[in-house]
């Protein structure tokens, strides 16, 4: 039997014949192709911050020229099954873990062990990306926690808090604030806090302008250690003591931190018999917002003139929205008809919320020059009596709040 009859017998067993049989050579002349780098795209890359990065999409810088594994090469192949496939030579990077690049690697003779898809350097880059992602997530969580803590309502101090405010400047807020601090002295302490960068309250209360008391660190957050003794047994916290970082920085900080003042007062461990009185800058400021947030009572000081009246148009609603808002007219000059008329207009506007009219008394402004506070010391002055009466109204309002359980 020769080879031809063997083939004929073999094919006959399968119902075929040897007529169409063609002997082919068992060696193939392979065509030499130019080297082709096969680049596997590894996904889009987003912003440097990695906002949209995913586990499956490393940055563009990490794209590498890698050899395609057989399955990938087959999937990407333009050739149909059974079609003759030209050998493809691929570039393998020098640091590839697999065998050295072969100049004669062919598609028809796949390696028994496919070359690794990812290099060790890619793995370490991916690890870096994962670490970065985790640290970004941690930072985001911390920021969220901080934001939440800053905006969650803080427990209020049990002390009575009174904010002295005004729609315009120069009406006598600081003067009235200092005088009321003396008039409100009762069972507990009266603490006068200056929230105005002008830092003038300390002069009205004779607390001087020394640096903070010995032992108080500049970074001290607990205001209790920064209090100074003022006139009529008051305690004074000057603006410079609460703002070691400077007015601009403090304003920016408290704009974001809605309950800064409430928290600061909470740390002072005040009692229900204590009174806190706040001096504020004129108009709508971050200090005013903080004061309105924490105050049990708001006292708006105005002068009997057109300027105060017109300024109320811009800010009056903000004051009136507060649950306990009352008005004091200051520097009332009874000798002037216009002043009297303006007082009538203001009475109509404020109604029962008007709790006092303090007369103009030049001894008040002159006394400041000599360290004498007429409103606190001169019992013969009608202005002194008016301040006492206003203090009494505030005390009785505070007592009724306490009875009604409005105050903490």
Ligand X SMILES: Nc1ncnc2c1ncn2[C@@H]1O[C@H](COP(=O)(O)OP(=O)(O)OP(=O)(O)O)[C@@H](O)[C@H]1O
- Nearer of residues 96 and 174 to Mg ion, judged by Cβ: 174
- The answer to whether the beta carbons of residues 356 and 390 sit under 8 Å apart is yes
Q: Which of residues 160-199 bind Mg ion (CB under 5 A)?
A: 173-174
Q: Of 208, 191, 166, 327, which is closest to residue 261 (Cα–Cα)?
A: 191
Q: Of 405, 167, 155, which is closest to residue 294 (Cα–Cα)?
A: 155
354 binding ligand X? (CB under 6 A): no
- The answer to whether the beta carbons of residues 281 and 196 sit under 8 Å apart is yes
358 binding ligand X? (CB under 6 A): yes
CA atoms of 327 and 299, how far apart (whole Å): 6
CA atoms of 47 and 244, how far apart (whole Å): 39
169 binding ligand X? (CB under 6 A): yes
- The secondary structure element, H or E, covering residue 247 is helix 247-256
- Nearer of residues 172 and 266 to ligand X, judged by Cβ: 172
Structure tokens at 246: 């400077």
- The secondary structure element, H or E, covering residue 355 is strand 354-359
Q: Which of residues 198-257 bind ligand X (CB under 6 A)?
A: 198
Q: Which of 254, 261, 360, 390 binds ligand X (CB under 6 A)?
A: 360
360 binds, among Mg ion, ligand X, none (CB under 5 to 8 A by kind): ligand X
Q: Is 276 helix (H, G, I), strand (E, B) or coil?
A: strand
- Nearer of residues 96 and 309 to ligand X, judged by Cβ: 309
- The answer to whether the beta carbons of residues 255 and 242 sit under 8 Å apart is no
Q: Which of 282, 288, 357, 394 binds ligand X (CB under 6 A)?
A: 282
12 binds, among Mg ion, ligand X, none (CB under 5 to 8 A by kind): none
- The answer to whether the beta carbons of residues 254 and 260 sit under 8 Å apart is yes
User: Within 10 A of 78 (CB to CB), how many other CB atoms are there?
Assistant: 6
Q: Which of 62, 64, 196, 257 binds ligand X (CB under 6 A)?
A: 196
Point out the residue whose Cβ comes nearest to Mg ion: 174
250 binds, among ligand X, Mg ion, none (CB under 5 to 8 A by kind): none
- Nearer of residues 67 and 174 to ligand X, judged by Cβ: 174
CB of 179 to ligand X, least distance (A): 9
Residues that bind ligand X (CB under 6 A): 166, 169-175, 196, 198, 282, 330-331, 358, 360-362, 364-365, 368, 383
Residues that bind Mg ion (CB under 5 A): 173-174
């Amino acid at each position: 039997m020769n080879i031809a009859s063997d083939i004929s017998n073999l094919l006959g067993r399968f119902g075929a014949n040897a007529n169409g049989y063609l002997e082919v050579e068992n060696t193939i002349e392979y065509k030499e192709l130019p080297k082709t780098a096969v680049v596997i795209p590894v996904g889009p890359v987003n912003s440097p911050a990695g906002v949209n990065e995913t586990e499956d999409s490393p940055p563009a810088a990490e794209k590498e020229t890698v050899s395609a594994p057989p399955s990938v090469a087959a999937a990407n192949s333009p050739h149909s099954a059974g079609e003759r496939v030209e050998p493809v030579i691929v570039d393998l990077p020098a640091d590839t873990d697999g065998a050295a690049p072969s100049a004669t690697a062919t598609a028809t003779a796949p390696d028994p062990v496919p070359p690794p898809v990812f290099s060790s350097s890619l793995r370490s880059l991916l690890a870096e990306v994962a670490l970065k992602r985790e640290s970004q997530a941690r930072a985001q969580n911390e920021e969220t926690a901080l934001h939440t803590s800053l905006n969650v309502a803080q427990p209020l101090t049990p002390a009575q808090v009174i904010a002295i405010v005004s729609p315009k400047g120069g009406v006598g807020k600081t003067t009235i604030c200092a005088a009321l601090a003396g008039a409100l002295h009762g069972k507990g302490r009266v603490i006068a806090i200056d929230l105005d960068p002008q830092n003038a309250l300390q002069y009205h209360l004779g607390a001087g302008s020394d640096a903070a008391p010995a032992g108080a660190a500049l970074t001290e957050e607990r205001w209790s250690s920064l209090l100074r003794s003022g006139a009529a047994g008051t305690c004074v916290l000057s603006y410079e003591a609460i703002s070691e970082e400077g007015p601009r920085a403090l304003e920016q900080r408290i704009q974001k931190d809605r309950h800064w003042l409430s928290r600061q007062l909470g740390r002072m461990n005040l009692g229900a018999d204590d009174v806190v009185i706040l001096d504020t800058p004129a108009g709508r400021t971050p200090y005013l917002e903080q004061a309105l947030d924490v105050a049990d009572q708001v006292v708006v000081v105005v002068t009997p003139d057109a300027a105060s009246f017109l300024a109320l148009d811009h800010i009056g609603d903000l004051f009136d929205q507060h649950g306990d808002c009352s008005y004091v007219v200051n520097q009332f000059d009874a000798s002037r008809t216009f002043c009297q008329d303006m007082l009538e207009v203001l009475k109509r506007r404020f109604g029962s919320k008007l709790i006092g009219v303090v007369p103009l008394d030049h001894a008040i402004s002159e006394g400041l020059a000599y360290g004498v506070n007429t409103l606190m010391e001169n019992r013969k002055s009608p202005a002194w009596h008016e301040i006492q009466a206003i203090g009494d109204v505030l005390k009785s309002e505070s007592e009724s709040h306490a009875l009604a359980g409005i105050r903490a």
